[in-house]
Structure 1
């Protein structure tokens, strides 16, 4: 065990008694489900018979990128069962909404255990997965060690590591090299990510494309879409999608500027976290009539700014918009999935902060499928350019759609590679001689 891994184990052991208090605090503010806190300590395993793969995604974007892979895995191995863990309540909600009915009987969801050795041992000894798949940058020292001790093969998909993170990890080369070296396969988002991951110690690294680009089009209720289109009529529509603090202010200032040219403009703001809706509505109040979808408000003639504060409806709003700002790119959050609007023919505006989706954002910008913006003024200018030029909007939509289609093969290829690594005749493994839990700590 490296010095870094040893420090990680000591930290996990030391924090173990304190984390239940932290989890309860998160539950009080809606970031955990009170009746499922025990899952974060590895409890409530219900292992099904037969082969079981564990897939973990931290948040909404990573979870949504798993959906096409889930479909491909289940199609290629009919008897396979999947355990999907997430780190957030929102991701769990979205998984339940988007999981196809035919897959639901073969997929079980749990909240991920925290990186505490006892809790991980309890989780792994209870579920006994035949393999583990992690998304993007989920690197945890105690989990890595626990999987290696049990001989559970692990794969890292859609892997990314920023230049800054790569530089920081060089201060702990033993720890990062050990963690990355334990993955049987690492599939990077971009060629640059692949190069950095190899330099840090990953053994087998491939670059086959970006998994988020393979996601199916976001759904929308046809009747509700038609109803809203009837309410909006011919008004121009600007959407600020999945926004974070700071981006709503820029979108509202752009709205103010644009009203001089488009007096009937409707601006839709969909905050990434619906719990911020009241804050966003208060911020929007000086800019015109404001309604909130969660409160029954409508984007009708008396509404200038509509707060789209519901979950699972981004497919609806991308279809309504004439142009959309990609959230998490005007502030340093790294960017959300740009392929979602691209698949729906919605012209896209992208800010400078695209670290999480850099390869996809670069391709969209280079192909003409998106326009760059950096602040409220350039945002207003780009929105005006798209809304006033139908041909330009259509050309952007076609270019974006071509980028989105390029990765349609990836889930099947990735599923085949993962299943080749996993045991051919998998099933419940015998219990290990590792640590056993005699209490509920």
Structure 2
């Protein structure tokens, strides 16, 4: 498929994309905010800024240490995201120190409009966002493009291979691709990425920047609960019930406080209502502070994940029972939490495998095994397991500094 044919198909699908955003906005009104930005109609940013694109929350958190380094040396930052939750994370972390816009939909005319408002000197894309027109229009303006922390699962590789001509054209627009692992690098090479512009640098997600104030607030919450705490982080549809069922199987006198943190804000209220069917003592972050009477606490806030983890004794990481590949287990590992995950792990397979082999993470296949492992971890001393997670994170730091040095060469 040529890029022109891709653009035609994308144009025909655009009304459906627009309707999809409007439908999502019924549950998450932030999707209606600044809609013109998705068509490339945007307020100008500082000329010569470094443009960073991170699709959503996880990628924004991962790249934050680099943004801080660049800000400290006086660089201007234009930060684009795809989702409102990503935008909220940018606002919370950087305030007015960076300029945030939404990434336009992937049509040349929208990027022509985008570039009439912005004149960046470099584009850095976090992880594998291969949008053909984004890459082509940026490259044609002689703006260097870095694809950082890139990963490519076997499943994604097969998908991109179906459109080999389009994918190869897009990859050839990239100035430098930094792959997480050798296996990712090999897959990108097979798709047509020039080897002389390809490096293996490790995962920047090991270079976790843990906010001290969040750890302190989480520890204060833990003291207020006055009993063991289980956190279920970044849960997807269906996973909340699985966790609630597992929690309810734990004997009453050993049952921990359960903190449920849904991945998507539009689900906060429905998860709260679901939890009320399991206990009379249900509350949420926006409603009350922690206390010893609360059985289930809904984490209905953004940007406080480290606080939720710091309040816990055991962590379940979501997306692993919903078939969505799991979310990042390195955040609880860095805080020394024993980790439990379900069978779906393709987003973080290498990291999960490392944590498992070092004894820091338990992976379960079904709900009954989940309940069993949670009960076991809550009832035993987990010092060795906790230390293993911290050591895995510490041993693998360094990718962020390698990325920083490569960025300096290009600006």
Q: Could you tell me the TM-score, scaled by structure 2's length? A: 0.92
The answer to whether the Cα contact below 8 Å between 1:23 and 1:32 also exists between their aligned partners in 2 is: no
Cα gap change, 1:152 to 1:328, in 2 (>3 Å): same
Mapped pair 1:210 → 2:203 = yes
- Distance in 1 between residues matched to 2:355 and 2:246, nearest whole Å: 23
The SS at the match of 1:360 is: helix
CA shift, 1:283, in A, is 2.4
Mapped pair 1:183 → 2:178 = no
The SS at the match of 1:334 is: coil
Q: CA RMSD in A?
A: 2.2
| Farther-moved stretch of structure 1 (28-37 vs 380-389) | 28-37
Report how many residues are paired. Answer: 409
- Distance in 2 between residues matched to 1:35 and 1:251, nearest whole Å: 33
CA shift, 1:22, in A, is 4.7
**Bigger Rg, structure 1 or 2:** 1
CA shift, 1:170, in A, is 2.0
Partner of 1:159: 150
- Distance in 2 between residues matched to 1:385 and 1:243, nearest whole Å: 21
CA shift, 1:58, in A, is 0.7
- Structure number with the bigger relative contact order (C-alpha 8 A, sep ≥ 6) is 1
Q: Could you tell me the TM-score, scaled by structure 1's length? A: 0.86
The answer to whether the Cα contact below 8 Å between 1:330 and 1:352 also exists between their aligned partners in 2 is: yes
- Give deviations 1:46-79, integer Å, cap 9, x for gaps: 2314x3211101111111111012123344xx34
The answer to whether the Cα contact below 8 Å between 2:49 and 2:77 also exists between their aligned partners in 1 is: yes
Among 406, 409, 412, which residue is 2:398 paired with?
Answer: 409
Partner of 2:43: 45
| Farther-moved stretch of structure 1 (404-413 vs 134-143) | 404-413
- Distance in 2 between residues matched to 1:195 and 1:301, nearest whole Å: 52
Partner of 1:245: 237
- Distance in 2 between residues matched to 1:31 and 1:174, nearest whole Å: 38
Cα gap change, 1:263 to 1:191, in 2 (>3 Å): same
1:104-183 to 2 correspondences below 5 Å: 104-105=96-97, 107-183=98-174
Among 46, 68, 93, which residue is 2:88 paired with?
Answer: 93
The answer to whether the Cα contact below 8 Å between 1:299 and 1:305 also exists between their aligned partners in 2 is: no
Partner of 2:186: 195
Cα gap change, 1:47 to 1:268, in 2 (>3 Å): closer
Which blocks of at least 5 consecutive residues in structure 2 are unaligned? none
The answer to whether the Cα contact below 8 Å between 1:242 and 1:271 also exists between their aligned partners in 2 is: yes
Cα gap change, 1:251 to 1:219, in 2 (>3 Å): farther
Partner of 2:222: 229
The answer to whether the Cα contact below 8 Å between 2:219 and 2:310 also exists between their aligned partners in 1 is: no
CA shift, 1:33, in A, is 4.8
- Give deviations 1:222-246, integer Å, cap 9, x for gaps: 774455234211x121111111112
